[in-house]
Structures are given as C-alpha cells and as structure tokens.
Amino acid sequence: MLNLALEAGRTHTPEAVLFWFLAPLAVAAALGMLLVKKAVHSALLLAWVMISLAIIYIAQDALFLGIVQIVVYTGAVMMLFLFILMLVGVDSSDSLKETIKGQRPAIIFVSIGLIGLFLSLLGRATIGVPAIGLTKANADGNVQGLASELFTKYVWAFEVVSALLITAALGAMVLAHSQKTKSKFQQRDLSIARFRGKSLATAAGLPSSGVFARHNAVDVPALLPDGSPSKLSISQTLDARGDMIESKIFELEAREVEED
Amino acid sequence: MSTSQLLGTDPGWIILVKGLIVFVFCVLCTLLAIWAERRVVARMQMRLGPNRVGKFGLLQSLADGVKLALKEDLIPKAADRIVFVIAPVISATTCFISFAVIPMTGRVSLFGHKTAMQLTDLPVGVLYVLAAASVGVYGIVLAGWSSGSTYPLLGGLRSSAQVISYEVAMGLSLVAVFIYAGSMSTSEIVAAQHHWWYAVVLFPSFVIYAISMVGETNRAPFDLAEAEGELVGGFHTEYSSLKFALFFLAEYVNIVGVSALATTLFLGGYHALPGLSFTENWLGGWFTMVWFVAKIAFFFFFFIWLRGTLPRMRYDQFMKFGWKVLIPFSLAWIMIVSTLRVMSQRGTSRAIIVAFTAGVVLLILLISTLFESSQKRAEKRDALGDVPPPSFPVPDLARFTHSELEQRNV
C-alpha cells in the first residue's frame, strides 16, 4: 500500500517544471492582489491566479475541473466582478478607512475559521486514507468518474449547495427589485406626448445647443431670434448646476474691429 | 485506433509543424475573410468593393495591414498603460488557442508520419473552446476599461454583459450534442455524426448555437460593443496602429473559430457531404480539409449575409431575447432531448416515444396559444381608449390637385 502511495505521489519532470514555473507566478499574483491599489488590477491578478491553478489541475489529470474552473470562475464570476467594478467607477481605488465597526476582528476570526476548515479537510483527505493513484481514479474517464461521485455519493451536498445558490440569487433579486408605481415612459409614449402638448413648437424635438451662438458646445445655449439664450436647448442638469456659458464671451469685439 | 490515441504517437516536431499550420491557416483565413466580407457586402449593396490591389483586390487586406502597422501608436493620457497594452494581446492570443482541438482533416500523412490534422484531442475539448472564448472576452472588457474614456467603457460594459448572457445559451445548446454523442471530445463528436449530422437531428440546438455564436463574436446585428452609431468605435475607440490590428485579427479569427466549432459539432466536421464520401480519400485524406474549409466558408457567408441584411438590435431587446427566449427555450429542449435519449437507450417501444413526442408538440401548441391570447388581452388593456389619433402638422395633401403640387415643387 505504501509503495502505491509513493508511486502516486511521485512527480514527473515536466509536471515539476510546470509547477515551479507556475506556482511562483501564482503566489506573486495572489500577493499582488492584496497589495495593489486599483480594484480592477486586483481582480485581474485574481483571474491570473485562477488560470494558473486551472493549469496545475489539468497537469494533474483533473482535466474537467481545470477547464470548468476557467469557464465558470474566470469566465463568468470574475467577469461579473469586473462588470461591477467598472460600473462603480473607472479609477476609484479602495479607501482603507474602516466603515463598519468591528469588521476587522470579525474578518480575522472568520479567516482563522476558514483556514481551520481547509486544514481539517486536507487532513481528512490525506491522513489515514490510502492513495489509489490517478490512473485508478480516472479508470472510466475523468468526467465519468467525477459525475458518478457527484451524483451518487455526494448528491446530498450537491443539492444543498444548489439550493443555497438559488436562495442567494432569489434574495439578491428581492433586494434589488423595486415595484414601479407607474409604467415607464417609452420612446413611443414620449413621441405621442410631444404632439398632445399645448404647443407644437417642440414637436420635432428640442432645439440643439449652440444654434446661432458663437460656439456649439453642449453648455452653450442656442440663441433665439432676439439674441436671448434659449434654455430649452441645453440639458436641465447643466442649467440647474449653473454650468451654462453665455454665448457673449465668444463674440468678437465688434467695436474694436470697426475702430481699426 | 481512436484519434486521441493516434495523436498520442506524434513526435514533438510534428506537433510544432501542426501548430504552425494552424496559425498560418487562421491568419490566411482572416486575410481572405476580410477581403471576402468587403466584396460580398459590396455586392449586396450594389457596389464593387476593393478591386485594385492584386487580382480581384485579393491583396487589399495585406495592404491595409501594412498601412495599419505603420501608423502612429497612441496611448491616451488617462489610460491605464499596462492594461491598455495587455488587452489586445489577450484578445489576439486566446482566439488562436481554441483551434488546438478542432479536427481539420481525417487521417492523413504529414511528412510521412501518420496523424490527423488536429493539434490535440482532449476528452473535454468543446469545454476547452468555451474556456478559451471566455478568457478572450477579457481583452474586450479590459480594453474598454483601460482606455479611460466614456465610449470604450460603455462598450466594455455592454460586451461583458452580452458575453455572459450568450455564453449560457451557447453552453446549453451544446449540452444536447454531448448527450447524443456521449462525449465532449471534438473528434468523437465528429465520429458520432457518421450517419446523421446533428444540425438535422438536433435542429433547435443548431439554431440556438447559430444565434448565440453571433452574439459571442460581437458581430452585426449583435455588435453592440462597438456600435459605431452610438459608441463611436466602442471598446476600441482609443486604439490605433498595431494594437487595433490585433483586435481586428482577433475578431476575424474568432469568427472562423466559432464557425469551425459549429462545423465540428453540427455539420459533421471534416466529413464530406452525404453521398460524396468517396472524395474523403483523395490526396491521401487531405481533401477532407477542403470540406472543412467549405463548411466554414458557408458559416462565414451567413455572418456576412446577416451583416448586410439586419439592423443592429437595441441593447435591452438583445438582453431580453437572450434571457427570456433563448435560455428558457434551450432548457426545455434539453429536457426533451434527454428524455428521448434515455428512452431510446432503455429500448422503450416506438409507440411510447411517438406518444411522448406528440405530447410535447401538443403542450407547446397549448402554451403558445395561451401566451398569444394573454398577450392580446394585455394589448387590449393597454390600448389608448377613445382618444382620436394625434394630428400631425402636415399640409392636407388631399386638398391639392396633382398639377398644383407639381407647380409648388418648381
């Protein structure tokens, strides 16, 4: 039995080369993930850690696990992370100020618990359990072996995890959902509303900025025939913020020209 | 001897040669594809297209490539420099690696060595292609983010949402193929289609794959990530010179890639059309590559045709279509396929299978009828009551006679 375990535990040269090439890179990336300032860089380094782990899995004959790790975690989960980070802000970096009281001790406590859990798992998988070797484990094919384990021995755990995930997804939806009190104005409704209004002056749309003015930027209002600025031609937000620029400052100084 | 065993005997130098062939194949395909697309779209729009450089303008893409490479390479001030440079590299490398598992020919001899024109044969080959594609999207998303500019960011956001949604539908459409072939290895799926192509047997899966592959490659009518009418150039607005060329290359290699996967999974791979199987032995088996390329060309023509025909979809309609139509439909289809598969494996009598199929068809009809009637009711409810239709400020044309109108025009 011991012989077999040794046989299974021996590493072949190409695998060793791969490991010593990938492992330092993965560890460096994992450290970098904690140390870099920008959230997107951190996410990228995490993606790299995932991919290098996947390659190590594949080298250890866990082909399905490696590929699925890339498809599911790198391809879908990390992509969602990136999506959120990009929505939050292009160059927002994390502030190190503690916003929730007692968060740090709680995190340390939970981390220690998690490490303990992993250690106990590792111990249960290695100590006192004879290694049967990859060839034997993959005798019916890697995917088939995994499937038969997953859907017979571990079917309960599998179902519980899926129920947990669905509950989480539903919870997120409930939290994010808001009941609409009135139906949303669609393009069609807006178009009809323009014609139903008292005046048809804006039926063809609002005037664009900068018409008859000296500058056509979005914050320069169009000029009416009498030379006064038309507030309709610029965004209401700009008007409210007072970011409107008068066309006058762009005008040439007519008198000086005449004098010359 | 199965293909994977055959490939297992390859010496290192044969693998290198094959890798080179795959690379050259992809690049040549890209050059020809760009030319073909411009010519075919031109033809559809009653133009001539590029016809100056080389015979029929064949060298146009080469000339454009040289011109692109010689242009000034700009990096915006607000860009994240490292990510900005890495993004096109990710795009352009991942698109090639999915070709490693695509079987291009049957058994052939390469420099006197018996092998098959396929770099490697993994038991989970198709998933490997999906993995490569999902890493490839990072290129687009990061390009959008790192440009430090609004339009690219919007393009990157759109692209990430788009790819996540359409990859689900794509993966589900492949499940039916796995169930029928009993394998996820590309060469075994090709072998399993010896009698019937899966495009026929699993027609709904084929349709779902064909739709989602357009979404996956960011091509018209699903090219929302680079919608030039809305986002200037989308994720690659800020890119120029060789970096832009890399994105361009990646887009076309990706198109060839998804077409090659569709060929492998649904159109019998490198096998000849039914009734022409005697051609597979021509040129010592290398003629199968002609069939493979012909099938890819068919898909590519489909891509061009779509671009020439359909307007771009609106973003919300596109997402709604993916999540509310494609995915539920694929799930239902997988249920039906797996039931039928188990029935036929257990040797259930034909009568029961026919009865099951008829039941499914009846159920679909019932659901669609109920859906339609509920939609009609909703339409009635939303209809504008007794308000007269809006009157638009146009002159009453009926008042004028024809000659009067002509006079006014003058």
pLDDT of the residue at B396: 58
**Residue A53 has which token pair?**
């782990």
Q: Do A195 and B137 touch (CB under 8 A)?
A: no
Paired with A29 in beta bridges are: none
pLDDT of the residue at B42: 92
CB-CB: which of A40, A68, A79 is closest to B137? A79
- Please say whether the beta carbons of A203 and A211 come within 8 A: no
Contact pairs from chain A to chain B, CB under 8 Å: 87
B122 touches chain A (CB under 8 A): yes
Question: CA B342, CA B214: separation in Å to the nearest integer?
Answer: 32
- pLDDT tier, A2 (very low <50, low <70, confident <90, very high otherwise): very low
Is it true that the peptide bond before B88 is cis, omega within 30 degrees of 0? no
**Residue B318 has which token pair?**
């596109």
- Of B190, B252, B246, B264, the residue nearest B217 (C-alpha): B252
- Please say whether the beta carbons of B75 and B110 come within 8 A: no
**Number of neighbouring beta carbons within 10 Å of residue A236:** 9
pLDDT of the residue at A3: 47
B392 touches chain A (CB under 8 A): yes
Query: Domain coordinates of chain A in residue numbers?
Result: 1-92+114-138, 140-171, 201-259
Share of chain A above pLDDT 90, in %: 18
- pLDDT tier, A117 (very low <50, low <70, confident <90, very high otherwise): very high
Share of chain A above pLDDT 70, in %: 88
The yes-or-no verdict on residue A132 having pLDDT over 80 is no
- Determine which of A44, A67, A69, A74 to mutate to test the interface with B (most B C-beta atoms within 10 Å): A67
Handedness of CA A56, B260, B164, B124 (dihedral sign): negative
- pLDDT tier, B398 (very low <50, low <70, confident <90, very high otherwise): low
Q: Do A86 and B123 touch (CB under 8 A)?
A: no
Span B371-379, average pLDDT: 84
Q: What is the pLDDT of residues B270-312, one digit of tens each?
A: 888 877 777 777 777 788 888 899 999 999 999 999 988 988 8
- Please say whether the beta carbons of B117 and B104 come within 8 A: yes
- Please say whether the beta carbons of B133 and A71 come within 8 A: no
- pLDDT tier, B57 (very low <50, low <70, confident <90, very high otherwise): confident
**A6 to chain B, minimum CA–CA distance in Å?**
26
pLDDT of the residue at B119: 83
CB within 8 Å of B46: residues ≥ 6 apart: none
pLDDT of the residue at B198: 86
Higher pLDDT, B263 or B224: B263
Sequence length of chain A is 260
**B196 to chain A, minimum CA–CA distance in Å?**
25
Paired with B108 in beta bridges are: B115
Query: Domain coordinates of chain B in residue numbers?
Result: 3-313
The yes-or-no verdict on residue B156 having pLDDT over 50 is yes
Whole-number average pLDDT of chain B: 84
Span B376-387, average pLDDT: 68
Q: Do A195 and B122 touch (CB under 8 A)?
A: no
Q: What is the pLDDT of residues B11-52, one digit of tens each?
A: 788 888 888 998 999 899 889 999 999 999 999 998 888 888
Helices (H), B217-240: 228-231
- pLDDT tier, A119 (very low <50, low <70, confident <90, very high otherwise): very high
pLDDT of the residue at A4: 46
B127 touches chain A (CB under 8 A): yes
- Please say whether the beta carbons of B102 and B254 come within 8 A: no
Q: What is the pLDDT of residues B112-145, one digit of tens each?
A: 778 888 888 888 889 999 888 888 888 888 888 8
Whole-number average pLDDT of chain A: 81
Question: CA A157, CA A161: separation in Å to the nearest integer?
Answer: 6
Q: Torsion over CA of A100, A106, A108 and A114, rounded to 10 degrees? A: -130
- B381 to chain A: which residues are within 8 Å by CB? none
Span B225-244, average pLDDT: 82
- A201 to chain B: which residues are within 8 Å by CB? none
* Residue A91 per-residue DSSP state: S
**Residue B72 has which token pair?**
């000034």
The yes-or-no verdict on residue A6 having pLDDT over 50 is no
- Please say whether the beta carbons of B269 and B103 come within 8 A: yes
Helices (H), A197-246: 236-241
In the block, tokens 């539903």 appear at A170
pLDDT of the residue at B318: 87
Higher pLDDT, A134 or B243: B243
Q: Do A75 and B128 touch (CB under 8 A)?
A: no
- pLDDT tier, A49 (very low <50, low <70, confident <90, very high otherwise): very high
Question: CA A162, CA A147: separation in Å to the nearest integer?
Answer: 16
pLDDT of the residue at A1: 41
ipTM of the complex: 0.76
- pLDDT tier, A163 (very low <50, low <70, confident <90, very high otherwise): very high
**Residue A183 has which token pair?**
């139906």
Q: What is the pLDDT of residues B311-362, one digit of tens each?
A: 888 888 888 888 888 898 889 889 888 888 888 888 778 888 888 888 888 8
Paired with B113 in beta bridges are: B110
- pLDDT tier, A201 (very low <50, low <70, confident <90, very high otherwise): confident
Most confident option among A177-181, A202-206, B40-44, B48-52: B40-44
The CATH number of the domain covering residues in A1-92+114-138? 1.20.120.1200
- pLDDT tier, A90 (very low <50, low <70, confident <90, very high otherwise): very low
- Of B312, B327, B317, B329, the residue nearest B214 (C-alpha): B312
- pLDDT tier, A126 (very low <50, low <70, confident <90, very high otherwise): confident
Span A4-20, average pLDDT: 68
pLDDT of the residue at A116: 95
3-state secondary structure of B384: coil
